Amino acid sequence: MKICDKEVSLVGLGTWGFGGGYWSEDYSEDNKYIDILLFAYEKGINLFDTAEMYGNGHAEELIGRALKDYQEKVFIISKVWPNHLYYDSLVKSAIKSRERLKIRSIDLYLIHWPNRNVKIEESIKAMEYLIDKGIIRCMGVSNFDVDLLNEAINSTKKYEIVANEIEYNVYNKWAEKDLIPFANKNGVKIIAYSPLGKGRVYYDEKLKEIGKKYGKTSVQIALNYLIRNSIPIPKSANKNHIEEIMGSIGFSLTDDDYEYIKKL
């Protein structure tokens, strides 16, 4: 699969919690997270999702340190916080994120959450400036419903909205009704955060039962379901879990099993 003319893995890795939490840094486990990021890359994940808010930018720094030798081979997504959506603030945020990531261009830069106090046209104009300057390669949004996504698309002048990152999992399939069809029609990729339902899929007996048919775990079944319509980005700092995540690729649910999960 390609985003912004770059090949990406069918699943990515989320980095919320790497190097701290909500606008707060934690340097105590840096080596662990760097090791995990490299391990994920070695196992075939080349899409890494982060944000300026994660660890107050420290998650970006960890990605920059871990993957500095693989710039051309990895696909980095970062996001700008909603109180930075005014033109000048957005530009400054992107420049700072790029510096922390130590890359020439952020592959995909997203508006993390909408902010009705800032006109979407102003934010999109800043994003297009960033593309012109090579600070970012492509732009997108996150947590946008159909109306907001349509508004963002109609605000563009020079470049396209290429992705919308949303919460999407087997327990939260709201997007399948309207948003995903609309995104597909407009060439917008769906990126799925919280794809494991904050851990619920690990204990789901129905998914476990389906998994027996395929020799797969409930996690692998849940992710494979999402791969049809999105790029799931589970977050993990555990090597065994990352190997399990990669086992969600390389097989396809039957239509009957897919429809069964769709109705759960």
Beta strands in 86-205 (DSSP E): 106-111, 136-142, 161-167, 189-193
Residue 136's pLDDT band, with cuts at 50, 70 and 90, is very high
Residue 192's pLDDT band, with cuts at 50, 70 and 90, is very high
Helix (H, G, I), strand (E, B) or coil at 229: coil
| pLDDT, mean of residues 185-193 | 98
Count of CA atoms in the C-beta half-sphere (13 A) of 174 = 7
Report yes or no on 242 lying in a domain. no
Residue 133's pLDDT band, with cuts at 50, 70 and 90, is very high
Angle (deg, nearest 10), helices 146-155 and 120-132: 50
Specify the CATH number for the domain of residue 94. Answer: 3.20.20.100
Task: Give the total number of structural domains in the chain.
Answer: 1
Report yes or no on 244 lying in a domain. no
Helix (H, G, I), strand (E, B) or coil at 55: helix
Question: Which among 46, 51, 62, 60 has a CA at the least distance from the CA of 11?
Answer: 46
The pLDDT value recorded for residue 78 is: 98
The pLDDT value recorded for residue 153 is: 98
Q: Under 8 Å CB-to-CB from 231, ≥6 apart: which residues?
A: 1, 3, 8, 10, 11, 12, 47, 189, 190, 191, 192
Q: What percent of the chain has a predicted confidence (pLDDT) above 70?
A: 100
Report yes or no on 124 lying in a domain. yes
Q: Which of 27, 33, 41, 54 is catalytic?
A: 54
Our answer to whether residue 171 is catalytic in this structure is no
| pLDDT, mean of residues 119-128 | 98
Report yes or no on 120 lying in a domain. yes
Residue 236's pLDDT band, with cuts at 50, 70 and 90, is very high
The pLDDT value recorded for residue 70 is: 96
The pLDDT value recorded for residue 110 is: 99
Beta strands in the chain (DSSP E): 2-3, 6-7, 13-14, 20-21, 24-25, 47-49, 75-80, 106-111, 136-142, 161-167, 189-193, 231-232
Report yes or no on 115 lying in a domain. yes
Residue 65's pLDDT band, with cuts at 50, 70 and 90, is very high
Average pLDDT, the chain: 98
Report yes or no on 258 lying in a domain. no
Report yes or no on 180 lying in a domain. yes
Task: For residue 73, give Cα distances in angstroms to 35, 36, 48, 67.
Answer: 18, 17, 11, 9
The pLDDT value recorded for residue 112 is: 98
Q: What percent of the chain has a predicted confidence (pLDDT) above 90?
A: 100
Q: What is the DSSP letter of 45?
A: -
Q: Is the pTM of this model over 0.95?
A: yes
Supply the range of the domain harboring residue 67: 2-197+230-237
The pLDDT value recorded for residue 218 is: 98
Residue 103's pLDDT band, with cuts at 50, 70 and 90, is very high
Q: Six-digit token pair at 86? A: 């005014």
Q: Six-digit token pair at 238? A: 């555990």
CA atoms of 70 and 74, how far apart (whole Å): 6
pLDDT digits (tens, 9 = 90+) for 37-53: 999 999 999 999 999 99
Report yes or no on 211 lying in a domain. no
